[in-house]
Amino acid sequence: IAETELTPTEILEDQAPTLLAKVSVAYTAISQGSITDTPVTNSEKPQIADNAGANVNVAVRSEACPENFNQVSIPVNGKLCQIFAADFPASMILFIPQTPEEVVKYYLASSSSFVEPKKIKQRTMLKSADNNTTLIISKDGGGTQVDILVKSPVS
């Protein structure tokens, strides 16, 4: 029996429909409320005491989400981060449990590189001034899906 060696690209192309279907099912489950965050009591939340003795809650980032994707900030409450292409052009999607309007405000406030938002059907598109980075922000059930597309490395 002869074995055929597959390249990573061939494996990815073969598995892409399955991976996309799994991501779609996960987003649907979250948006329909069948997957929810487990409530955490104040005693379970990470806390730090400041010099005045006040307790301050510390946000914990989802393990699957990076702080940045090609210099695009990922909110602390971002979930289900899925990198579809790590090489350029690079792309990633994520879910944020906030309204699209709140997400647009976050990106406009967190980066001076995004220009005026543009509404296209039910989505908002943010582009960087150099047209290298595009964010597509759309309603997804009880939150927002963000598609991040980066054409080339930012210098």
- What pLDDT tens digit does each residue of the chain (155 aa) get? 555 555 444 444 555 555 455 545 544 544 455 444 434 343 433 444 444 444 444 455 666 799 999 999 999 999 999 999 989 999 999 999 999 999 999 999 987 789 889 999 999 999 999 999 999 999 999 999 999 999 999 77
The three-class DSSP label of residue 89 is coil
Global pTM reads 0.60
80 contacts: CB under 8 Å, gap ≥ 6: 23, 26, 27, 30, 62, 64, 93, 94, 95
Residue from 93, 92, 84 nearest 13 by CA: 84
